[in-house]
Amino acid sequence: MMGKYKLNTYIYAPKDDPKHRASWRELYSTSELAKMKELVETATENNVKFIYAISPEYCDPMLTSYTTTFASSLNSKIMLMWTGKAVVPLSITQANLSSINSRLGRKVFIWWIYPVNDYAKNNLFMGPCTSLEKGLYNSISGLVSNPMNQGYASYIPLLTTADYLLNLVQHKKPINRFFFY
């Protein structure tokens, strides 16, 4: 599905993989690595970048002076993800991006928490993506969207977000777009 609809980036960052979060120091077993290799190969075959994320910075309330200091010491090629002013912001604006980019010393990679519904399990968020301000491409290094656990129900919001990003690519500049998480 991702390759077919030009969704070119898959970020592996599952909350239920303890070795991705709390047990990050533990090595994956041979069988776990074989499954990961299969996932990477499937992504590659479909022209999708596979990215293994390490515990992302989420939003403004979770940022500390440690975060700012840590960000300034990282290689400039390492992208830092950010969800917005809140874990699930109503929108992301140019003003929001100016502030966070200045604080972290680089253009952030947006982790758009839409249409994910793990915080509202009785809801399906199936509307189009309408909360991203135009012109964001100037201030971000990429954008991924976080789907619901209900994969097919995620198609409309994911594809409208992909359309937004694809139009940026065609008219302005290349940008990392999409995920499936």
pLDDT tens, residue by residue, 152-180: 888 888 888 777 777 665 555 544 444 44
Q: Does any domain span residue 36?
A: no
**Per-residue pLDDT at 28:** 94
Q: Does any domain span residue 155?
A: yes
Q: Does any domain span residue 27?
A: no
**Per-residue pLDDT at 149:** 84
Banded pLDDT at 121 (limits 50, 70, 90): confident
CA dist., res. 5 & res. 59, Å (int): 29
**Per-residue pLDDT at 41:** 97
Q: Does any domain span residue 102?
A: yes
In the chain, how many H helices and how many E strands? 4, 6
3-class state of residue 27 by DSSP: coil
- At 101, which CATH number? 3.20.20.80
First-to-final CA distance of the chain: 13
Query: Is the pLDDT higher at 66 or at 99?
Result: 99
Q: Is the pLDDT of residue 80 over 80?
A: yes
What's the domain count of the chain? 1
**Per-residue pLDDT at 118:** 84
Query: Is the pLDDT higher at 122 or at 2?
Result: 122
Instruction: Identify the domain containing residue 91 by its residue range.
Output: 56-177
**Per-residue pLDDT at 56:** 56
